[in-house]
Amino acid sequence: MPAGAEGRGWVARLHQFARQAPDVRCELCAAPILPDHPHLFEVNKRQLYCCCRACALLFGGQQGAHYRPVPRDSRYLDGFRMTDEQWDALGIPIDIAFFFYDSSVRRVVALYPGPAGATQSALDLSAWDELVTGNPVLAQLQPDVEALLVNRSEGARDYYRVPIDQCYALTGLIRARWRGLSGGAQVWDAIRSFFTALKRHGRVPEGLLHA
């Protein structure tokens, strides 16, 4: 699939996750759900679903099922090793990106957020393999539902192991608040708040995503 077409699909889903209506319902059974609800990932469609806890257990607990439960917790990777040269070798054009193993294409993919949503970058797999060698935690990421989230903006050198829905939320946040060429003060304040919450609490509070 061309990168542009894939990116457009991600834009719609990311926008949905960042701006859900207050009366959100389970996308599998239509039951009302709380803001702090589980998510399921449908591998074949590369799509996230908001769901109730019953559906999360029913559909996400089956061996070989189409749906995979998205983990709840994030972890700041203190001691993660990446030089500026290694980052440059990955070929990411901006300073924020996320990486995960996409089982539908059987490879690690890289995406970066922006005003148009998430854009897939052509990842140099040899550069990624070098990074895994120095950071074995990357080999432990659950396919499809866990990602390495990198924040090197404004001089930061921060790395997180996160559920894929947190990457969706960050990208939707950026898309919704971006103004003009540089993004504007509002979006950068939101990005800082996002990463501050992620580092302190292991997950971004629902209220922050809808602020």
Interatomic CA distance for residues 15 and 116, integer angstroms: 10
- 71: Cβ contacts below 8 Å, ≥ 6 apart: 142, 145, 146, 163
| pLDDT tens-digit map of 113-135 | 999 888 999 999 999 999 999 99
- Tokens linked to 3: 């990168």
CA distance 152 to 169: 18
The pLDDT of residue 3 is: 43
Residues in the chain: 211
pLDDT digits (tens, 9 = 90+) for 173-186: 999 999 988 899 99
pLDDT for 14 beyond 70? no
Report H helices in 19-163: 53-60, 84-90, 125-134
- This prediction's pTM: 0.83
- Whether the pLDDT of residue 89 is over 60: the answer is yes
* Residue corresponding to tokens 């052509």: 122
Q: pLDDT tens-digit profile of 15-32?
A: 454 454 457 899 999 999
pLDDT of 12 > 70? The answer is no
Residue range 135-172, pLDDT digits in tens = 999 999 999 999 999 999 999 999 999 999 999 899 98
Under 8 Å CB-to-CB from 10, ≥6 apart: which residues?
111, 117, 118, 120, 171
